[in-house]
Amino acid sequence: MAYYLGVDGGASKTAALVTDETGRPLGSGVAGPSNHLRVGIETAARNIERAVNKALVTADVASREIVWTYCGIAGADHPAHRQEVVDSLSIFFPRGNFTVDNDARIALTGAIGFGAGIVVIAGTGSVAVGRNDAGDEARVGGWGPIVGDEGSGYAMGRGGLAAILRAFDGRGPATAMTALLQRDYQMTPADLPRYVYAQTTHADDIARLSKLVIDAAENGDAIARGLVDSAGSELAKSVIAVAQRLGLIASDFPVAYVGGAFKAGETLLAPMRGAILAAAPHAHLSPPVRTPVEGAAQMAMRAATNPRPTRSGE
């Protein structure tokens, strides 16, 4: 029996999955974040190792039995950043039978398989990545909270807090989000600067506040509704840009959606779907077929017979 290992390393957690040669899951493990741009390379490598060890123990498989490991790691897009991760993992995978790639590509494979289609990811950040029938790939977004991540949980959370402060100042209309901030988070508008600018507050903390935007929108608040509609529109723009680059606009292709922002369901999906279909009428939205870590395990099986030298740990 041959065994394969997939790793999904993100800004909030790291997941690992051991499968057999048929793709059947045998054991999984979860550890802390492994985006080294946020937590540092040592912490990232340690969390990957922890998640992998948990998965191996659960599967009752020794590391030497793993044919190939495929790691989709957030922050590993730039060649220099990827090399940092490769170097740190070379100690843990001394045989060099592993690949380091970005987390968006494993999400794409998990969501739609190896065929043509697009996945849009909206969690703390946002990115869209796709593939056409020729195997060409394109990616849009993923530029981080300061200069990008439109449509993300962070963007909605930030927009909600800004609207609350505008209402507090009298520069903008009143919003039900103010009451939700006080009820659900025990904060007043005057408390926000201390919270937002604290060294312990990070982008994912702001992203979690997108829930008050969603809740207010679902209860008819016009300001919150506008923020959610804007997020859906921005995510659709990313999907459409990927489809245009890949020549998919006139085709029938799947668009899968992944990430915590989509816990909002149709509140966010409806405006995104409407904007996508206006430009690509044959696109069809659907939840992902598999998780990103399952996608990573699938890519491990493929990489074992056809490794990509530019992304390999060798």
Average of per-residue pLDDT across 111-135 = 93
For residue 310, pLDDT beyond 60: no
Listed in sequence order, the DSSP H helices in the chain are 36-39, 41-59, 79-89, 103-112, 153-169, 177-185, 192-196, 203-208, 210-218, 222-246, 266-279, 292-305
Residue 19 clears pLDDT 80, i.e. is over it? yes
265 vs 37: which has the higher pLDDT: 265
Mean pLDDT of 35-50: 84
Orientation of helix 222-246 relative to helix 210-218, angle to 10°: 110
**Span 184-230, pLDDT tens digits:** 999 999 999 999 999 999 888 999 999 999 999 999 999 999 999 99
Answer whether residue 86 shows pLDDT above 90: no
276 contacts 236 by C-beta, under 8 angstroms: yes
**Per-chain mean pLDDT for the chain:** 91
Nearest CA to 18 out of 31, 39, 34, 2 is that of: 2
CATH topology match: 3-110+291-311 vs 115-288: yes
CA 305 to each of CA 29, 105, 128, 280, 308: distance values in angstroms, whole numbers, following the listed order: 25, 18, 27, 36, 10
The yes-or-no verdict on residue 273 having pLDDT over 90 is: yes
How many beta carbons lie within 10 A of that of residue 118, not counting itself? 31
Token output for 301: 């099986």
Handedness of CA 286, 291, 292, 298 (dihedral sign): negative
The per-residue pLDDT for 40 is 83
Domain 115-288 has CATH 3.30.420.40: yes
User: 312: pLDDT confidence band, cut at 50, 70 and 90?
Assistant: very low
Q: What's the confidence (pLDDT) of residue 59?
A: 95
Q: Sign of the C-alpha dihedral, residues 69, 73, 79, 84?
A: negative
> Looking at residue 112, what is its pLDDT?
93
DSSP code string of 55-80 = HHHHHT--GGGEEEEEEEETT--SHH
Instruction: Band the pLDDT of 307: cuts 50, 70, 90.
Output: low
Assign 250 a pLDDT band (cuts: 50, 70, 90). very high
- pLDDT grade, residue 314 (50/70/90)? very low
Percent of the chain with pLDDT strictly greater than 90: 73
CA-CA distance, 282 to 117, in Å (whole number)?
12
Confidence label for 266 from pLDDT (cuts 50, 70 and 90): very high
For the 3-110+291-311 domain, the top CATH level (class) is alpha beta
Q: CB–CB of 25/64 below 8 Å? A: no
The full set of domain ranges for the chain reads 3-110+291-311, 115-288
> Which has more confidence, 313 or 135?
135
